[in-house]
Structure 1
Amino acid sequence: MPQCSRLSRSALLVWVAGAAVAVLPTWELGREPLDREETIGASGDIYGLVCLFNGGTTLSPLAPLRRDLQAVMETTEGWAFPALVVLLGLLACLGRRDPGVIGRRVVGLLVLIAVIEPLASLSSYRRGCGEAISLFSAGWFREAAGGWGITQLCLVVAAVLVFAASRVMRSVTGDESEESQAGMVWRRPVAALVDYLIVVAVLSAVVGAAWPLIDVGFKVHMGAGLLERADAYVFRSSPRPAELAILAGLFLYSWVQHALWGRTLGKRLLGIRIIAARTGGRLGAGRTALRVLVFPLLAFVPDVGLWCLLVGGLWILLDQDGRVLYDRLLGAAVVRDRAKRAQPQT
């Protein structure tokens, strides 16, 4: 681990400029007229109600994913997370982290946010719940390209500035174990995406078919994401058995697999697992349950859940082992499944 990094004045100015550019989308969002926000909110509520009370048989299976990604992107932009990513990356480089590794991670996060935001917003362009844009169709590519605007431009420019600044900064020592971990950054979100799609598929195929036998008034609607279902029917109103069953199923899906094998189906596919950082063995049923309550279930808590998870995820930029905050607190680590020596991975 390098003991320090040499930072020139020009590199510092470029990095700070990257943070300033990254905060511009949030700044512009805060300056939007109040009446426009109310109009957008009202149309979104109408859309959500239509989708919730629609049978969902003609909707794209990716509709819940789009809705939930849209909620994540709204939190990301509203709380200026791109600028926070840049600033935390700068603090990490001023400390004992390798500038090259940190720079690549910051650039990757900025580009990922820039790409996902217009894709997640495609659901807003539909004229009705039964007219979802087909994935990878000509209309899908047209809408995705048309969704690029000032937000994406700012994030790309910030990524370029961060990359340039990180190239100027030099580590005192060249031996950096994080170089071998850099290729692991993408595995955790991809594994989480796979698990999400599996859960949605099971809810649609199994729960949706079985629950009407118990409650004839319940159907699994494909128009709403899991986050907004929990928000509307668990936390902001009297809890409904259907939504509580969804949360319980999600908890059991993650807890049982992690407790028994240290990995879910998504992690198995991506070749990673969760271990106890100190012993290298299983994390244990108790700590595994606490971890599942934090991720993914904390995301379902309105207003603060997503924010806390995003902040905890950014801890990888400051942690010397590249672990997220909740893994650090619980003594857990995510490692390559086939690694001869388990090393904490991001």
Structure 2
Amino acid sequence: MSLSVPGCRWRRVGARVLDYVVSCLPALPLMWLAVPFLERSIAMQVNRVTRRTLGSGGDTGEMREAAAASLTALGQTASVVVLALFVVTTAVLCFYDWVCHAAFGRTLGKLCFGVRVVHAGHGGRPGVVRSFLRTGVLFGLPLFFGTWLAVDSLAGGTEPALVPQLVANAPVYGLLLALLPAQRALHDFVSGTEVTRA
């Protein structure tokens, strides 16, 4: 029995965008804390390069080595900070998404856009298990692979540091699948849910 009705497609997209914005709010204080940390790291590396440059007696090879080592250290520090912010923000989004769908059948975004998530069989709230499956498919897998790539990159792997954030922030597949005629994304099929107008 399909409860999907026409007209939910763009409401879903708008609701998801609003939910992303809401879930990023808890990360703002962490960003404010990260800026002074990065500033201290930059100042420390500049001092290090300056000391090595002045002590090198004009040896350009040693100056280049010092600059390269400092840039590498700064890049690793920035990657760790970005990874931490990403993990915290995504964890908040996952928890928010799971709890809201389990308890209310909708998130703040879905409430504002007039849609809700229902059990595909009987039209009631999806419940704890279905909501967990839905959230796990939508965010859990990309979060796992994105974090794994980021840790691999920080440990000297071959992936550039930007790739993990792009891969892990790619629950776009759910939004793209929502554009199909059935208006059910992969996470809806796996969890046995549908999105309908409220």
TM bucket (normalised to shorter chain) is: 0.5 to 0.7
Aligned counterpart for 1:285 among listed residues 106, 109, 128 = 128
Residue 313 in structure 1 maps to residue 137 in structure 2: no
Residue 266 in structure 1 maps to residue 127 in structure 2: no
SS at match of 2:117: strand
**What is the distance in 2 between the residues matched to 1:333 and 1:197?**
23
Residue 275 in structure 1 maps to residue 118 in structure 2: yes
CA distance 1:286–1:269, change in 2 (3 Å): same
SS at match of 2:37: coil
Deviations 1:198-234 (A, max 9, x none): 22233215x446x67xxx8379xxxxxxxxxxxx549
Consecutive unaligned residues of structure 2, counting only runs of 5 or more, are 40-78, 147-163
CA distance 1:251–1:310, change in 2 (3 Å): closer
Aligned counterpart for 2:10 among listed residues 186, 195, 201 = 186
Q: Is the 8 A contact 1:194 1:266 kept in 2?
A: yes
Report the alpha carbon displacement of residue 245 of structure 1 after superposing the two structures with TM: 2.5
Match of 1:330 in 2: 191
Q: Is the 8 A contact 1:298 1:309 kept in 2?
A: no
Please tell me the residue identity of whatever aligns with 1:202: P
Match of 1:251 in 2: 94
Residue 202 in structure 1 maps to residue 26 in structure 2: yes
Report the alpha carbon displacement of residue 280 of structure 1 after superposing the two structures with TM: 1.3
Report the alpha carbon displacement of residue 306 of structure 1 after superposing the two structures with TM: 6.5
Report the alpha carbon displacement of residue 289 of structure 1 after superposing the two structures with TM: 1.6
Please tell me the residue identity of whatever aligns with 1:325: L
Q: Is the 8 A contact 1:263 1:272 kept in 2?
A: yes
Q: Is the 8 A contact 1:257 1:264 kept in 2?
A: yes
Report the alpha carbon displacement of residue 318 of structure 1 after superposing the two structures with TM: 5.5
CA distance 1:311–1:196, change in 2 (3 Å): closer
Please tell me the residue identity of whatever aligns with 1:331: G
Q: Is the 8 A contact 1:298 1:306 kept in 2?
A: no
CA distance 1:285–1:243, change in 2 (3 Å): same
Report the alpha carbon displacement of residue 325 of structure 1 after superposing the two structures with TM: 2.4
**What is the distance in 1 between the residues matched to 2:179 and 2:16?**
17
Q: Is the 8 A contact 1:255 1:288 kept in 2?
A: yes
For 1:121-136, list aligned pairs within 5 A: none
Q: Is the 8 A contact 1:276 1:283 kept in 2?
A: yes
Rg larger in 1 or in 2?
A: 2
CA distance 1:218–1:331, change in 2 (3 Å): farther
**What is the distance in 1 between the residues matched to 2:177 and 2:102?**
25
**What is the distance in 2 between the residues matched to 1:328 and 1:247?**
22
Please tell me the residue identity of whatever aligns with 1:196: Y
CA distance 1:312–1:268, change in 2 (3 Å): closer
**What is the distance in 1 between the residues matched to 2:174 and 2:197?**
24
Identity of aligned residues (%): 32
Aligned counterpart for 2:37 among listed residues 205, 217, 231 = 217
For 1:1-346, list aligned pairs within 5 A: 181=6, 183-205=7-29, 207-208=30-31, 217=37, 232-233=79-80, 240=84, 242-300=85-143, 301=146, 302=164, 309-310=172-173, 313-314=176-177, 316-317=179-180, 319=182, 322-337=183-198
The alignment's TM-score, normalised by the length of structure 2, stands at 0.54
Q: CA RMSD in A?
A: 3.6
Report the alpha carbon displacement of residue 297 of structure 1 after superposing the two structures with TM: 4.5
Report the alpha carbon displacement of residue 331 of structure 1 after superposing the two structures with TM: 0.5
SS at match of 2:123: coil
Q: Is the 8 A contact 2:178 2:185 kept in 1?
A: yes
Aligned residues: 136
Report the alpha carbon displacement of residue 267 of structure 1 after superposing the two structures with TM: 0.6
Please tell me the residue identity of whatever aligns with 2:10: W
**284-293 or 253-262: bigger deviation:** 284-293
Q: Is the 8 A contact 2:8 2:195 kept in 1?
A: no
